[in-house]
Chain A
Amino acid sequence: MLGKVLGLDMKACAKMFLPMYLIAAVLTGLAKLTMILFQHNDNTLVSLSIGLTMVLYGVTIFALVILPMVFMVIYFYRHFLTDQGYLTFTLPVKTSTLVVSQQINGIIWTILSVVVLCAALFGMFGNYIIDSWSDIKEMFRGIFFFAPQALAEVFGNKVNGLTRILVISMLVLEVLFLYSSLYASMALGQLYTKHKILGSVIAYIAIRIAVSILNSVASFVLFYVNSVNVYLAYQVVEQIFLGVFCVGITIYILKNKLNLD
């Protein structure tokens, strides 16, 4: 059943994401072409058109970072908490299946958006920073080496394989927690008879404040342990716990406290 629900969710979200990817590809191509053709031209009109395409390209990059989250929030809200919820919640499907499908759906589209974002950046600036595939390999090595390295230095440790695995796990789990906390906030918000959206925003802020306090306390304590891997392992466990906790809250509320009035 999860496959059926996920298929439906993926298809519905494709209507929002695929046009965005197409626009990103067209604008990246246009910006690149404008730069190649007119880079040595001092004409004012040409400079203006380069400026305009660059602004549009910048907006595209920004959109690829922000819109996946916005799209998923809109989809969850429409699919569960508006009139469409009357169909969603009368399908013979477990509430847990509906919620888990939303999680997987969000993670898949976010990963795809990161891939498109990287392609848009490489498409535009690739020739300035890389000459060959080996350079791309070096670049990824840099990303996965320097970030853990910088963190390890804070603790006065040396980076090792485990540190890198933990850093990557933490990044992936951050996406899980992002969506699970957003969905839990909306589930909590719908409990209000009026001002459901305001209720959702307040719930999200409250969750984030609680997590920040938890993180601050944990960081303070773990700093004295003096091990980057212990610190990262804690972060990974915390992300898993909070992600699962928020998914659990969402399922519980939508199953036992649904309020489609």
Chain B
Amino acid sequence: METLVNIQNLTKKYGSVVALDNISINLPQGRIIGLLGPNGSGKTTLIKLMNGLLQPSSGEIFIGGEPVGLETKAMVSYLPDRNYLNNGDRVKNVLNQFERFYEDFDRDKAEEMLDSLQISSKMKLKSMSKGTKEKMQLALVMSRQAKIYILDEPIAGVDPAARDFILRTIMDHRHPGATVLISTHLIADIEPVLDDAIFLQYGRILLANTVQNIRSEKGKSVDEVFREVFRC
């Protein structure tokens, strides 16, 4: 499998706290990868580093052969674990902004997805519920023909029906051949869609393998292995 993301000896420290401790891993192209770990394991830090929102203390990340920067931002479609849109904007303005800045943004697809969510382009974001805003962000992110989708906790804090919608949206709308990296600690919900799993703990990679191999080697589901590994 061709490597899309190459992470080499990556360390991130916040003062004396080590959030990521010398991790190295390659993420292949076209796979759905679960970045799994309990809170504080370093998932969000790794994702922010891949998006250039934090700078590493040492080590390097290459996406599509390029170091994180202007070129990689055009390849990555990122869903953060928070609302990054301006609440004062209307949906139409946000669509215009994505269309203006992302060459790979498919506006028709975005409008179709928003229609299915009954989100009108005239609506103001501040009139939407938190859940609707999250779905709208997901629709925007999945409407890009990106090389990699990096989704930080997309199913955290939502009801089971919304989880189904989110996972269906990701599976149905990802660009063919793209990699999807999903961070979560809700393994049971996403296990059926995963190709690979990476377990993170205290900023270190505990396990990185295909879901099939994990199941056959351990004789358990990924969710059961996760519960066993991270038992308090």
Contact = CB atoms under 8 A, between A and B. Distances in A.
Interface string B34-77: 00000000000000100111110000000000000011011010
Interface stretch (B82-90, B182-190, B196-204): B82-90
A83 to B, nearest CB: 5
A93 interface: yes
Contact of B73 (A11, A12, A90, A258): A90
A89 B54 CA distance: 10
A94 interface: yes
B82 A86 contact: yes
Contacts of B85: 84, 87
A69 B55 CA distance: 30
Main secondary structure, interface of A, reads loop
Contacts of A84: 84-86
Nearest to A91: B101
A90 B54 contact: no
Given A91-B73, A92-B102, A83 B82 contact: yes
A6 to B, nearest CB: 12
Contact of B74 (A86, A87, A92): A92
Given A84-B85, A84-B86, A90 B55 contact: no
B83 A83 contact: yes
Given A8-B97, A260-B48, A86 B53 contact: yes
Given A4-B101, A86-B80, A89-B53, A94 B70 contact: yes
B73 A92 contact: yes
Interface residues of B, number: 26
Contact of B86 (A12, A89, A259): A12
Interface in B215-231: none
A15 interface: yes
A93 B73 CA distance: 8
Contacts of A92: 70-71, 73-74, 101-102
Contacts of A90: 51-53, 73, 76, 78
Given A90-B78, A92-B101, A92-B102, A193 B15 contact: yes
B122 interface: no
Contacts of B71: 92
Interface in A32-72: none
A261 interface: yes
Contact of A15 (B54, B73, B80, B88): B88
B70 A260 contact: no
B84 A256 contact: no
Nearest to A257: B55
A84 to B, nearest CB: 6
Contacts of A8: 97, 100
Q: Name the residue in A11, A84, A87 with the highest tally of chain B Cβ atoms < 10 Å from its Cβ.
A: A87
Interface string A221-261: 00000000000000000000000000000000000111111
Nearest to B73: A92
Nearest to A78: B86
A260 B86 contact: no
B182 to A, nearest CB: 17
Contacts of A256: 55
B181 to A, nearest CB: 14
A11 B71 CA distance: 27
A173 B79 CA distance: 40
Nearest to B97: A8
A258 B52 contact: yes
A259 B54 contact: yes
A260 B55 contact: no
Contacts of B78: 86, 90
Interface of A: 4, 8, 11-12, 15, 78, 83-87, 89-94, 193, 256-261
Interface of B: 14-15, 48, 51-55, 70-71, 73-74, 76, 78, 80, 82-86, 88, 93, 97, 100-102
10 contacts: A83-B84, A84-B84, A84-B86, A85-B84, A86-B80, A89-B52, A92-B102, A93-B70, A256-B55, A260-B48
Shortest Cβ-Cβ A-B pairs, 10 listed: A86-B84, A92-B74, A87-B84, A92-B73, A260-B53, A86-B80, A91-B101, A83-B82, A90-B78, A83-B84
Given A4-B100, A85-B84, A261-B48, 18 more contacts: A12-B86, A15-B88, A85-B53, A86-B53, A86-B78, A87-B85, A89-B51, A91-B101, A91-B102, A92-B71, A92-B73, A92-B74, A93-B73, A193-B14, A258-B54, A259-B55, A260-B48, A261-B14
